[in-house]
A and B are shown apart, each in its own frame.
Chain A
Amino acid sequence: MLIEIAQFLTILSTGLFFLNFLFAFFFDSSDRHMASLVSKVYTHSSLLLATSFFIYVWLAVSDNFSVLYIAQHSNSNLPTFYKITSIWSAHEGSMFLWILFLVLWGALFNFVTQNSQDLKIKSMGVISIIIVGFLLFLLLTSNPFETILPIAPANGADINPVLQDPALAIHPPFLYMGYIGFVIAFAHAIAFMVEGNPSIKWESLVRTWSIAAWVFLTIGITLGSWWAYYELGWGGYWFWDPVENVALMPWLAATAFIHSLSVSSKSSSLRIWTILLSIIVFSLSLFGAFIVRSGIIDSVHSFANDPERGLYLLTFIGILIIGSMTLFSSRLSMLSSGSVIKTFSKESFISINNIFFGVLVFSTMLGILYPLIYESIYEQKISVGAPFYNAIFVPMAVLACIFLFFSIGAKWQRKLVISSFVNSISLSVFISGFLVLLAYKLLSIHGIWELISIFAGSIIIVRYLFVIWDYLSKKKYSNPFSVIAHIGLGILMISISLNNELSSERALNIKINQSDTYQGYQIKLTDLKLVNQPNHDSIQAIFLVTDPIGNNFYLKPEKRKYFARGQITTETDIHVTLLKDIYITIGDQLKDGSWIVNIQFNYFIRWIWFSAIMMGFAGVMLIVSLNRTR
């Protein structure tokens, strides 16, 4: 009964959202009563959908296996936390969550803004029609409410143990919140172009929302990277997997977007950019959903086996993208500000910055598409791996850093006078050159691109330290969010380079009670324990590691065999220090009783995530300050 109620609520809300779209677009939205009607209908329909979702959560928690999806992806032995997270472990449920978030962003926006705010009602209309599109997709092609009748199975499926992991369970919601959060900006851009009144400052209306979505996306990507690092046993933090790239593209475009927004909320000079970018960011988010859910790319084939899903999504996304682009090109003259961007003003630097991000998005897209195109032309399977992305991303990031370096101190609508910063610029270059020399001599880093990247990262950091110094000593104003986020970028550049150059790994062959040394670390296999757990047996190898100074610590990697389907998994163990991780995995046992052990020294890996968190933190601070000054 509950299942039918939940499904009915979803259908009902679909109808109401459609009605809301009609109200918002085809009646006079300047009418106060109409506006309040749209707002109210939206609130009620989102309550219906949220209720439906919570019933669904309850069905999962209470082990209602007559729901096909829950039977397939949950199990009564799971802890409640994983019963809930199992909802988004596959296609139907994660689509449901995606829609819930879409509805919630709209509801939050509806809740905190006045009905009389510019563009609000039309934006709500755009959001409503997008919700309807996704809800129809859910109900028609991927119904999560489908039941197994007449007899429900006594228990659910055996769950893949790899899925029972906190970071894996929580990073999709962050990513979804990020992707779909840009709907507010997109809806406003459409409403703005439809309304056709260039005096409305649409940029300042969406700035907070876009930064919030960007923060979610940043955190989601970081969590995903962290999960891949410890779970896959590979020691890497980024694999250029198509699914990762699909998350990276909206992030890159969104970063360009929020930079442009900061210009446009001061003057309207970059309006064409901001409108275009808001469409691109949202399109890339939707494109990601299409790639992941259509089964086009090999690594995701098991997400969906139904060709109708791909076709539906493609049609829906196609209409949205081509429709909004057509609207955009027909309103070009309304969007152009007429004001000329002064060379060497802050605006001019941010425009150039957009070009860098554009190249990165284009290259990533190419890396995803090229194998598909190549295969259909030459009938030869190919893949595009890390070397291609490195060849593009590294020089681009260095160039962007150098531009950023010279643009620090630039002012809005005024020409940057480089000569007033000559001291700190030359000092930064000097100090960074010295640091690169140190890296070369002391850490023996010889990779040319690594050295250049370290230089590029450190000129930014040092230059911003001067900015902070100026602020503290002379009370010279600086934008704290930009300082924090860009110092994060500098740290990211340096830590990626150091990680790339310093990290090393070695496979060792050790018998019990024997030891081996690697890079001055003595690794002794002291014990092997058989640990019996409710759902798996595990062999735990206990290593006593002695570092060069003589400190001891234990590392306990495991090899687990799950009863359910005899699946074997490897659990790494990691000793975290400030500069590096000592990361151990065990492989197979050889005939002579010895074990293959892989030891890795992963340098500065924590710093990579730390720098991403710094950027996210800067975003949060900016949101807080924007709303305080309002």
Chain B
Amino acid sequence: MKFILRTFVIILPIALISFFYLYINDNDYYPGADYRNYDLPQFELTELYSNADISNEDLEGTYLINVWASWCITCRVEHGFLAKLSNQNIPITGINYKDEREDAIKWINKFGDPYKLIIHDYKGSLALDMGVTGAPETFLISNGEVLVHYRGEVNNMIWQDVFIPVITKYELFK
């Protein structure tokens, strides 16, 4: 009797905790990260500053897409790291998400512009097609294919853990 109880109360928690431990350390699992590959959805929107039309043809090669908004506080925190990436010659396309044009331009003037290009997605339609749930979110795209989708603030740790492995695997930004 005691033997059964004794093993039971120790084995069960150990099994549970090791399961979760393995689950957390599984490569496929990273909270907020999504590694499914799919084509970048078709869109026709305008550029933030010039109001010129933009569609898929204007985006080529390997680049990041960063979804941001002036109302988003976390985007401000993330901004510094994006500037660093931009200085390392990593092209970033911004999607300005559900934001007024003037507010967005004011924000960029205040905090700097790490983006090659900013798409003004006032209604959030492109963002919705890309499965965006809020701001900030960041995508890694190569030749029209989404390789990584990360929900939340990108900082050095996330960059190293989530993006670098994929970049190394496909030998991108070479």
Contacts and interface: CB of A to CB of B under 8 A. Distances in A.
Interface of A: 68, 71-72, 148, 153, 156-158, 272, 276, 283, 290, 294-296, 301-302, 304-307, 310-311, 314, 317-318, 321-322, 325-326, 328-329, 332-333, 336, 369, 372-373, 376, 564-566
A624 B73 CA distance: 48
B81 interface: no
A307 B30 contact: yes
B9 A276 contact: yes
Contacts of B17: 314, 317-318, 321-322
A157 B76 CA distance: 11
Given A295-B31, A307-B161, A565-B71, A153 B76 contact: yes
Central interface residue in A283, A317, A318, A566, by most chain B CB within 10 Å: A318
Contacts of B24: 294, 296, 307, 310-311, 314
A148 B76 CA distance: 9
Contacts of A148: 73, 76-77
B23 interface: yes
Interface string B41-76: 000000000000000000000000000000111101
Given A156-B73, A311-B24, 5 more contacts: A157-B72, A301-B32, A305-B153, A310-B24, A314-B21
Contacts of A336: 2
A332 B23 contact: no
Central interface residue in A158, A290, A321, A328, by most chain B CB within 10 Å: A321
B73 A322 contact: no
B173 interface: no
B151 interface: yes
Nearest to A301: B31
A302 B151 contact: yes
Contacts of A321: 13, 17
Interface of A is mostly: helix
24 contacts: A68-B77, A71-B73, A156-B73, A294-B31, A295-B31, A296-B24, A296-B31, A301-B32, A301-B151, A302-B133, A304-B31, A305-B151, A307-B24, A307-B30, A314-B17, A317-B17, A318-B13, A318-B21, A321-B13, A322-B14, A329-B6, A329-B9, A332-B5, A336-B2
Q: Number of contact residues on B: which range applies?
A: 20 to 34
B38 interface: no
B98 interface: yes
B10 A326 contact: yes
B13 A68 contact: no
Contact of B31 (A153, A272, A305, A565): A305
A329 B71 contact: no
B74 A72 contact: yes
A157 B71 contact: yes
A317 B24 CA distance: 15
Contacts of B153: 305
A296 B19 CA distance: 12
B72 A329 contact: no
Interface string B109-145: 0000000000000000000000001100000000000
B5 A329 contact: yes
A158 B77 contact: no
Contacts of B72: 157
A-B residue pairs, 4 tightest by C-beta? A295-B31, A305-B152, A305-B32, A329-B6
B159 interface: no
